[in-house]
Structure 1
Amino acid sequence: MGLKNAVSVLLFLLCGIQGKGQMDTATIRSYRDQIMVRINLDTNIESFIVSEGDHKNADKTILSINNKTKTSLSVDYRIISATLSFSPRFIAGNNDNELKGNSSYTDLSLRFFPKRFIQTLYYKNVKGFYVENTKDFLPGWQEGKDPYIRFPDLRVQRFGGATSFVLNRGFSAKSLYTQGEWQKNSSGSWVPFVDYDLTIFSNTIDGEKSKETQYNIGANMGYFYNWVIGKKVNIAPYLALGLGGKFSSYHDILGDGSKENEQYLTLRMEGGLHVGYNTDRFLFGGRINFNTYTYQKNNQAVENNNLYGLLYIGYRFAPPKAVKKNYDKIQKTLPLL
C-alpha cells in the first residue's frame, strides 16, 4: 500500500479574527500570541436514513460511510492553524474495506470571530456509501462474513456556512471552538444563527448517472453554557433547534433527461458537549457533536445524521523570535492577520 493510501494530508485554516486580537480581560484569558501544538484523535460518522410508509411500519434504508478514525497533529499561531491527518490501519474499523467498501471524506473549514459574530464557511466531500442494514434486504446475509450492499460512486458535496451572534458579551466562543482563549468564570449565552448550504448528490448505477442539487437555508436558536470548575476544568454543553427550507432540483442525466423541482420544510437539531482541562502551557480534553435534520419527501421521511467525536492533548509556548518577527512584518502588509 503506497504512501498516498496510507497517509491523508489535510491542510486548512481556522481563522479567529477580532481586529488586532483579543486581549486579556477580567473574565477571559487570551492565548493569541502563543504557539499551540496539539495531537488529535477524531472520528466522523455520516449517514442518511430514508423511511418509506407510515411511522410504525416504515421500511428504512440506512446509508453510511465506512468511517475512518484519524490521528492528526496541528500547529496554531494567531489566526493560522495547520493540521496533518492520517488514518492508522491498526485502529479497529480502519481495515474493513473488503466488506464495506472504501469511503473518502474531506472536510475543510474557515472560521472568523469579528467581535461577537462567528462566521463559519466549510466544504465537505464524501464518497462511497454502504447500506448499514443490509440484512433487511438480503436473507441469509451474515455480518462480518458477507459484504454489505455498496454504492461506491455515491457522492455528496456540500458548500455551506453559518452566521452566528453571541448575545452575552462576557461569553468566549473561542474558548470552545479553538481553545485560543480561556473563560475564567462560568457563563452562558443564547446564540441565534442562520445556516445555509449548497449540496450536490451524484451517483452512477449500471452506467446511469443521476444528480440532485439542494439549496438549504434555516434559522436557528442555540444555547451554550461554559461551566468552569475551579480554575482549570470546564464542561460546556450546547443545544440548538432550527426551522428552514430545502429547494431541490433532480436531473436524470443518462435516463430520460427529466428534471424535477421540489420544495420542503426542514427541521434541524444539533448539540454537543465539550470537556477540557487547561493551563497556560498544557491542555487536553474532548468533545462530541451531533447534527441531524429531517424532511418529508412525498411518502418518504429523509434524515441526515452526523456524529463527530474528538480527543486532544496540546502544549502552548512562546513563539521563537524569528517567527514573531516575520509574522509581524507580514501583518504590516496584510492587516487582516
Structure 2
Amino acid sequence: MKYTFLIVSIFITTFVCGQNAVISFKENLLVKSNISTQSESFSIQDNGQSVIVNANNTYRLQVAANYKFLGLKVGFSPSSRNSNFKSKFINPQLNIFIKQWIQSFEYRKVKGFYQDNHADVLAQFPNLKTTSWIGTTSYVLNDNFSLKHLTHLTEWQRETAGSLVPTLRSGFNRLSNTIDNQKIAENSFDIAIAPAYYYTWAFKEHWFISSSIAPALGVRFTTEKIDQIATTKNTFITRALDFTLQFGYTSETISAGASFNFDSNAVNKKLTQSVVTDKSYASLYFGYRFIAPKFLKRTAKSIEDRFNL
C-alpha cells in the first residue's frame, strides 16, 4: 500500500511540475524591440577572383508584436553615417503559433553593397540587390520545453528542459546586379532540413541560459541569367551549421536578454554569386506584455472559432 501511495505521489508531482514547466502569455499582447549587429555579405566571382562585398549597415533594428496565435515583425537597418554610400534593408515577417508548431513567412530585401571596407570602391556595387521569400516550419517535440520563450517571448519556461526541434526551411532568393550595362541575375530555390536541438537552464526563478545547435542539409536549384536569358542551370548540395547562446530575464510583464549567433553555410561548388560561408553577430532584445485591447480580443476570438484553433 505504501508503495502504491509513493508511486501515485511521484506521478502527481511529475504531472504538476510538467504543467508548471511552461507558462503561456498568449492572452497578453507582447511588444518587442531588438537590435543586432547582423549584416549581409556576399562573395562575387569576378574574372576568376573572389570579391567580398558587404551591406553598409552597422546594425539592424526589429520591432514585433505577438498575440495568441499570430506574430508580426518588421526589420530595418539605417545606413552608416560615416559614409555617403547607402544600403537599404527591409525584412517584414509573419509568424503563426499553433500548439507545438511555429510557422514563419518572411520577405527580405537588401540593396547596395561595398567591397571589403575599401573607401575607394564604396560605390562599386550600388545596384547589387538580393531579394528573398523564406518559409520556416518548426515542431517542438517536448511539451515541457518552450521555443516561443526564446524566440517570441509569448511563454515563460520555468524549469530546465531541452528538446529536439525538427525544422524545414524553404525559400526563393534572387541576386541581381548590373555589370557593363548587362543585367545579371541568379535565381535560386532552397529546401533544407535542420534537426535543431535546444536546451534551456532555468535558475533563480526569473533567469535562464539557453543554447542551441542546428545542423542543416539541403538542396539548391539555381538559374543564372544575363539580360533575362537563362545561361546556366545547376543543382547543389548545401550544408549549414547554426549555433546560438542566449541568456535573459523573464517575468509576468517583461522579457529581456542577449544572444550570440554563429552561422556557417557552404555549397558543394562555387556559384557566380553566393553567400559567404561564416559570420557571427550579437543581439539585444526587450519585450513588454500589455492587456490586449478589446477589438483585438474580439478579432482573435472570431478567427479561433472559425478555424477551430
Query: Normalising by the residue count of structure 2, what TM-score does the alignment of the two structures yield?
Result: 0.81
Determine whether 1:94 maps to 2:104. no
| Change in 2 beyond 3 A, CA 1:82/1:220 | closer
Match of 1:210 in 2: 184
> In structure 2, how many angstroms separate the alpha carbons of the residues matched to 1:301 and 1:211?
9
Q: What is the aligned counterpart of 1:48 among 26, 42, 50?
A: 42
> Secondary structure of 2:176's partner?
strand
Q: CA deviation at 1:248?
A: 0.8
> In structure 1, how many angstroms separate the alpha carbons of the residues matched to 2:271 and 2:223?
18
Q: What is the aligned counterpart of 1:27 among 21, 45, 50?
A: 21
| Change in 2 beyond 3 A, CA 1:155/1:71 | closer
| 1:46–1:306 contact (8 Å) kept in structure 2 | no
| Change in 2 beyond 3 A, CA 1:297/1:195 | same
Unpaired stretches in structure 2, ≥5 consecutive residues: 1-17
Q: What is the aligned counterpart of 1:187 among 161, 169, 180?
A: 161
Q: What is the aligned counterpart of 2:95 among 83, 106, 111?
A: 111
> Secondary structure of 2:39's partner?
strand
Output one character per residue of 1:227-270: Cα deviation in whole Å (capped at 9) or x when no partner: 1122111111111111111111111117xx45211111111111
Q: CA deviation at 1:308?
A: 4.8
Output one character per residue of 1:212-238: Cα deviation in whole Å (capped at 9) or x when no partner: 111111122211011112211111111
> In structure 2, how many angstroms separate the alpha carbons of the residues matched to 1:81 and 1:299?
35
Q: CA deviation at 1:148?
A: 3.2
Q: What is the aligned counterpart of 1:69 among 41, 59, 66?
A: 59
More strand by share: 2
More helix by share: 2
Match of 1:328 in 2: 297
Match of 2:282 in 1: 309
Where does 1:124-143 land on structure 2 (aligned, <5 Å)?
Answer: 124-132=108-116, 134=118
| Change in 2 beyond 3 A, CA 1:331/1:114 | closer
> In structure 2, how many angstroms separate the alpha carbons of the residues matched to 1:116 and 1:281?
23
RMSD: 3.0
Q: CA deviation at 1:281?
A: 2.3
| 2:72–2:95 contact (8 Å) kept in structure 1 | no
| 2:70–2:94 contact (8 Å) kept in structure 1 | no
| 1:295–1:303 contact (8 Å) kept in structure 2 | no
> Secondary structure of 1:217's partner?
strand
| 2:261–2:281 contact (8 Å) kept in structure 1 | yes
Determine whether 1:282 maps to 2:254. yes
Unpaired stretches in structure 1, ≥5 consecutive residues: 1-23, 53-57, 135-144
| Change in 2 beyond 3 A, CA 1:298/1:69 | closer
> In structure 1, how many angstroms separate the alpha carbons of the residues matched to 2:21 and 2:217?
34
Q: What is the aligned counterpart of 1:167 among 128, 141, 156?
A: 141
AA paired with 2:136?
A
| Change in 2 beyond 3 A, CA 1:261/1:68 | same
Range with bigger deviation, 273-282 or 306-315: 306-315
Q: What is the aligned counterpart of 2:233 among 227, 237, 261?
A: 261
| 1:68–1:94 contact (8 Å) kept in structure 2 | yes
> In structure 2, how many angstroms separate the alpha carbons of the residues matched to 1:70 and 1:259?
35
Percent same amino acid among aligned pairs? 29
AA paired with 2:298?
K
| 1:295–1:301 contact (8 Å) kept in structure 2 | no
Determine whether 1:242 maps to 2:216. yes
Q: CA deviation at 1:209?
A: 0.7
AA paired with 1:212?
E
AA paired with 2:56?
N
> Secondary structure of 2:99's partner?
coil
| 1:46–1:307 contact (8 Å) kept in structure 2 | no
> Secondary structure of 1:44's partner?
coil
> Secondary structure of 2:219's partner?
strand
> In structure 2, how many angstroms separate the alpha carbons of the residues matched to 1:84 and 1:112?
15
